[in-house]
Amino acid sequence: KMSSLGLSKNTRKVKKELSVVDQRVHGNGPIVFAWHPDGTYVCSSGANKIVHIFDRSGQTVHEVTLSGVCLAMDWDYEGEVLAILPANSTSIILWDKNSMKTQA
Protein backbone atom coordinates (compact mmCIF):
# COMPACT_ATOMS: atom_id res chain seq x y z
CA LYS A 1 0.00 0.00 0.00
CA MET A 2 1.30 3.47 -0.91
CA SER A 3 1.14 6.50 1.34
CA SER A 4 0.14 9.96 0.14
CA LEU A 5 3.83 10.68 -0.52
CA GLY A 6 4.12 7.73 -2.85
CA LEU A 7 6.35 5.75 -0.46
CA SER A 8 5.74 2.25 0.80
CA LYS A 9 5.10 1.97 4.53
CA ASN A 10 8.21 -0.21 4.67
CA THR A 11 10.46 2.45 3.10
CA ARG A 12 13.13 3.73 5.48
CA LYS A 13 14.71 7.11 5.11
CA VAL A 14 18.49 7.16 5.16
CA LYS A 15 20.00 10.21 6.78
CA LYS A 16 23.59 11.22 6.26
CA GLU A 17 25.21 13.21 9.02
CA LEU A 18 27.15 16.08 7.48
CA SER A 19 28.50 17.55 10.71
CA VAL A 20 27.46 18.18 14.30
CA VAL A 21 26.95 21.60 15.85
CA ASP A 22 26.13 21.61 19.56
CA GLN A 23 26.55 23.58 22.78
CA ARG A 24 30.34 23.45 22.45
CA VAL A 25 29.94 25.84 19.52
CA HIS A 26 26.94 27.91 20.65
CA GLY A 27 26.66 27.56 24.43
CA ASN A 28 23.64 26.18 26.27
CA GLY A 29 20.17 27.11 25.12
CA PRO A 30 18.18 27.32 21.91
CA ILE A 31 19.88 27.45 18.52
CA VAL A 32 18.64 29.48 15.54
CA PHE A 33 19.64 28.22 12.09
CA ALA A 34 19.03 28.84 8.38
CA TRP A 35 20.02 26.78 5.33
CA HIS A 36 21.25 28.61 2.24
CA PRO A 37 18.69 28.23 -0.60
CA ASP A 38 20.97 25.95 -2.64
CA GLY A 39 22.17 24.01 0.42
CA THR A 40 25.81 25.09 0.25
CA TYR A 41 25.81 26.81 3.66
CA VAL A 42 24.10 26.46 7.00
CA CYS A 43 24.20 29.32 9.49
CA SER A 44 23.56 28.89 13.19
CA SER A 45 23.70 30.93 16.36
CA GLY A 46 23.07 30.44 20.07
CA ALA A 47 23.79 31.83 23.51
CA ASN A 48 27.34 32.91 22.62
CA LYS A 49 25.96 35.69 20.33
CA ILE A 50 27.98 34.57 17.30
CA VAL A 51 26.49 33.59 13.95
CA HIS A 52 28.55 30.74 12.53
CA ILE A 53 28.42 30.22 8.78
CA PHE A 54 29.43 26.69 7.82
CA ASP A 55 29.90 25.00 4.46
CA ARG A 56 28.36 21.58 3.82
CA SER A 57 31.40 19.79 5.24
CA GLY A 58 31.05 21.65 8.56
CA GLN A 59 34.01 23.97 8.06
CA THR A 60 33.57 27.53 9.32
CA VAL A 61 33.36 29.99 6.43
CA HIS A 62 32.74 33.12 8.49
CA GLU A 63 31.58 34.32 11.91
CA VAL A 64 29.51 37.38 12.76
CA THR A 65 29.60 38.65 16.36
CA LEU A 66 26.31 40.12 17.58
CA SER A 67 25.42 42.56 20.36
CA GLY A 68 22.65 40.21 21.57
CA VAL A 69 21.47 36.67 20.92
CA CYS A 70 20.16 36.00 17.43
CA LEU A 71 16.36 36.08 17.30
CA ALA A 72 16.05 35.13 13.63
CA MET A 73 17.99 34.88 10.38
CA ASP A 74 17.20 34.05 6.78
CA TRP A 75 18.68 34.26 3.29
CA ASP A 76 17.34 36.45 0.51
CA TYR A 77 15.65 34.73 -2.43
CA GLU A 78 18.83 34.42 -4.49
CA GLY A 79 21.02 33.41 -1.53
CA GLU A 80 23.36 36.40 -1.81
CA VAL A 81 22.60 38.07 1.53
CA LEU A 82 21.92 36.68 5.00
CA ALA A 83 19.69 38.90 7.19
CA ILE A 84 20.35 38.58 10.93
CA LEU A 85 18.10 39.99 13.67
CA PRO A 86 19.92 40.32 17.03
CA ALA A 87 18.04 40.90 20.30
CA ASN A 88 18.14 44.39 21.81
CA SER A 89 19.04 45.99 18.49
CA THR A 90 17.25 48.45 16.24
CA SER A 91 19.11 47.19 13.16
CA ILE A 92 19.10 44.11 10.99
CA ILE A 93 22.61 42.96 10.09
CA LEU A 94 23.16 41.99 6.46
CA TRP A 95 26.01 39.60 5.60
CA ASP A 96 27.01 39.51 1.93
CA LYS A 97 28.09 36.05 0.76
CA ASN A 98 30.35 37.38 -2.01
CA SER A 99 32.26 40.02 -0.05
CA MET A 100 31.95 38.17 3.30
CA LYS A 101 31.28 41.52 4.96
CA THR A 102 28.44 42.82 7.10
CA GLN A 103 26.47 46.03 7.09
CA ALA A 104 23.87 47.22 9.58
Which pLDDT tens digit goes with each residue over 61-72? 999 999 999 999
Share of the chain above pLDDT 90, in %: 62
Residues near 52 by Cβ (< 8 Å), separated by ≥ 6?
21, 25, 26, 43, 44, 45, 60, 63
Q: What Rg, from alpha-carbon coordinates, does the chain have?
A: 16
Decide if pLDDT at 60 tops 60.
yes
Q: 8: pLDDT confidence band, cut at 50, 70 and 90? A: very low
pTM of the model: 0.76
User: Which pLDDT score is estimated for 31?
Assistant: 87
Q: What is the pLDDT of residue 78?
A: 94
Given a cut of 80, whether residue 25 has pLDDT beyond it is no
Count Cα atoms within 13 angstroms, Cβ side, for 103. 4
